[in-house]
Structure 1
Amino acid sequence: MNHKKVQRIMCEMGLKCEKFTRKSRYKSYKGTVGKVAKNRLNRRFNTSIRLQKLVTDVTEFKCLDDRKLYLSPIMDLYNSEIISFGLSNKPTLDFVIEPLNKAVEIIKNKAAYRTTIHSDQGWQYQHNQWVKTLKKNKIFQSMSRKATCADNASMENFFGILKQEMYYGEKLVSYEGLKQHIIKYIYWYNHVRSKAKLTGMSPVQYRNQSSQSVA
Structure 2
Amino acid sequence: MSVTAVFVELCAKVTYGPLIRVAKHDRRAEKKEYLLANKLYTVDAGHAFHPVRPNLVMVTDCSELTYGIKNEKKLRLSAVKDLYDHSIIAWRVAPTETAQLVTDTIKLALKNNNGIKPKTMHSDQGSAYTGGEYNTFLAGEGIIHSMSRPGTPGDNSPMESFWSHLKTERFAFEQALSEVEMMKQIEDTIHWYNYERRQETPNGMTPMEYRNHAVKEIA
Q: Give the TM-score, by structure 2 length.
A: 0.75
Q: Is the aligned partner of 1:143 residue 2:140?
A: no
Moved more, 82-91 or 140-149: 82-91
Instruction: Quote the residue 2:108 is aligned against.
Output: 102
Q: How far apart are residue 178 of structure 1 and its match?
A: 1.4
The percentage of counterpart residues that share the same residue type is 31
Runs of 4+ more than 4 Å apart: none
Larger Rg: 2
Query: 1:77-101 deviations in whole A, cap 9, x for unaligned?
Result: 0100111111122223222111111
Bigger relative CO (Cα 8 Å, ≥ 6 apart): 1
Instruction: Quote the residue 2:49 is aligned against.
Output: 45
Tell me, yes or no, if the aligned pair for 1:67 and 1:89 is still in contact at 8 Å: no
CA RMSD after TM alignment: 1.9
Matches within 5 A, 1:68-147: 68-105=74-111, 109-111=115-117, 115-147=119-151
Give unmatched runs, 5+ long, in structure 2.
Answer: 1-33, 42-46
The 3-state SS of whatever aligns with 2:75 is strand
- Letter of the aligned partner of 1:63 in structure 2? Y
Q: 1:176 aligns with which of 171, 180, 184?
A: 180
Moved more, 144-153 or 88-97: 88-97
Q: Is the aligned partner of 1:188 residue 2:188?
A: no
Aligned-partner Cα distance in 1 for 2:38–2:194 = 27
The 3-state SS of whatever aligns with 2:194 is helix
